[in-house]
Chains A and B, each alone.
Chain A
């Protein structure tokens, strides 16, 4: 008797749980894989990574792929909008007001461009016969801070789009030679422009926002393409827009691969008796340095893990290499000070003469 009652209770509880889980709507934070306190940049980064993985074209054997992809789009649409996110945090998915729902296509193409996404195969190979508009390459200047922490750049693309217009137009125009006979044995060669007839198009300027990600560890000259966002072609397809990364020089750090190099000038006193200091890194965190031995000019200190994240695996970091140089006192020493130094340091005269330029 008791077990039957308990079973019923269990079933009721389970049913209740399932109903609330369903009614509560989707967990957008879980879909994107971010915490509730994630910044807008974290959300964009998570979307961009998952969108590539979950696109239905890439998961053709998974029947749930279109749903997963739609969930991803809905999650990004809500969490990337300040207003909608607030409403969602307070009331769940049901609490969202019926507003304008941008199609997932719009969201996806603002990160990657138009024309769907050709996974794997090169675009050029597939469209050999269709004429293509010009590609646009934009040099995007990037700071070392952005290479370290990543960032998103919003751009507004204003481009001409071919729209249907009434009437016909001349297309495929070419010069042809025409021969006309003026009389017996007399000919005249003239150049004539000959055109075909095509449906009329007009170019109308339209605008949209694109999101370019500066990924952590990105290297100079790497490109981020946006398919179809280049110049239009009246008789064919538009070209692509490519952002080419140009990493700017930094006043404090020099990049070599994933390693960072920097220089520190210390006083002669600090070089001899030791010192303690902090170096502010690219994201503001402090690198603590302690030295209790003598530091020679040109001495180097390696700080593992304090370099840049590796582009292919951001869990691997390079090192920070610090080179010290010594600032000698400006004022000359008097005789008393010279005697003092002689007795303090107890270093005899060295005066070794040698060829320093050939590595002896």
Chain B
């Protein structure tokens, strides 16, 4: 008797689950970082946000500098997630773990970039913001390293550079004037506690239904 009851209950919950999953209409990507989203990235070890501005490095490549800042209300800390060059990602689609993306600085439209130049404070690899109007070169691409299928908004991920294989990191060195207190952001060859980043404030785009057919009547 008890066995049949248990089986009955099990079958009921299974059916309920099946029905409920069928009822999901358009997919919601509320918990994922999606293509086209604008966001701020926080380094979890040092509590600073990835940042750039119209200030060039005084050494190395002389390109636009990328730093880590403490305050949370600066629009210069916003970056947009975009697809690889010539391969736009679909707007609103969740970014998969292992996917190659470009991270474009909102205010200056330059891409997060690294190359074989030495960083000014720690002698790691210099990370800069490069390009014009969102177009740079092949060294603008990074892969998102995370566990699971997609980049979750509330999980820490790593960014590995496509080309030089370094990880986007902060180890705490601070600049002086004119960007006093900002931390150096550089590329390090090994994954460690300094290269975890998580998404914070931002504008996260949800997937839309493409209006192909007008036979919704």
Contacts and interface: CB of A to CB of B under 8 A. Distances in A.
Contacts of A160: 72-73, 201
Nearest to A149: B211
Interface string B75-113: 110101000000010011000000000000010000000
A203 B73 contact: yes
Interface string B178-212: 00000000000000000000001111111011111
A139 B91 CA distance: 11
B73 A233 contact: yes
Contacts of A41: 209, 211
A143 B211 CA distance: 10
B204 A155 contact: yes
A89 interface: no
B137 interface: no
Interface in A48-66: none
B201 A283 contact: no
Interface residues of A, number: 43
Interface string A169-190: 0000000000000000000000
Nearest to B77: A231
Nearest to B217: A37
B216 A135 contact: no
B208 A153 contact: yes
Contacts of A241: 203
Given A41-B211, A158-B200, A231 B75 contact: yes
Contacts of B200: 158, 205
A282 B114 CA distance: 40
B206 A155 contact: yes
Contacts of A284: 212-215
Contacts of A145: 210-212
Contacts of B210: 143, 145-146, 151
A133 interface: yes
B68 interface: no
B173 interface: no
Contacts of A234: 73
Contacts of A136: 38, 75, 78, 106, 203
Contacts of B202: 157-158
Interface residues of B, number: 32
B45 to A, nearest CB: 20
B53 to A, nearest CB: 12
A157 B76 CA distance: 17
A228 interface: no
Interface in A68-103: none
B213 A156 contact: no
Contacts of B74: 134, 231
Contacts of B216: 39
B121 interface: no
Interface string A281-320: 0111100000000000000000000000000000000000
Contacts of A230: 75
A281 to B, nearest CB: 10
B106 A156 contact: no
B30 interface: yes
A140 interface: yes
Contact of B201 (A141, A150, A158, A282): A158
A283 B213 contact: yes
A141 B106 contact: no
Contact of B212 (A138, A140, A210, A283): A283
Given A154-B206, A283-B213, A205 B201 contact: yes
A117 interface: no
Interface in A239-294: 239, 241, 248, 282-285
A139 B109 CA distance: 10
A283 B209 CA distance: 13
A149 B36 CA distance: 21
A137 interface: yes
Contacts of B76: 134
A104 interface: no
A26 interface: no
A270 to B, nearest CB: 28
Given A146-B211, A156-B204, 9 more contacts: A41-B211, A135-B75, A136-B75, A138-B38, A138-B203, A139-B80, A146-B208, A153-B92, A232-B73
Interface of A: 37, 39, 41, 133-141, 143, 145-146, 148-160, 203, 205, 210, 230-234, 239, 241, 248, 282-285
Interface of B: 30, 36, 38, 72-76, 78, 80, 88, 91-92, 106, 134, 200-206, 208-217
27 contacts: A37-B217, A41-B209, A134-B73, A134-B75, A134-B76, A136-B78, A136-B106, A138-B36, A140-B36, A140-B205, A143-B210, A145-B211, A146-B208, A149-B214, A151-B208, A153-B91, A156-B204, A158-B201, A158-B204, A160-B72, A160-B201, A203-B72, A241-B203, A248-B88, A283-B211, A284-B212, A284-B215
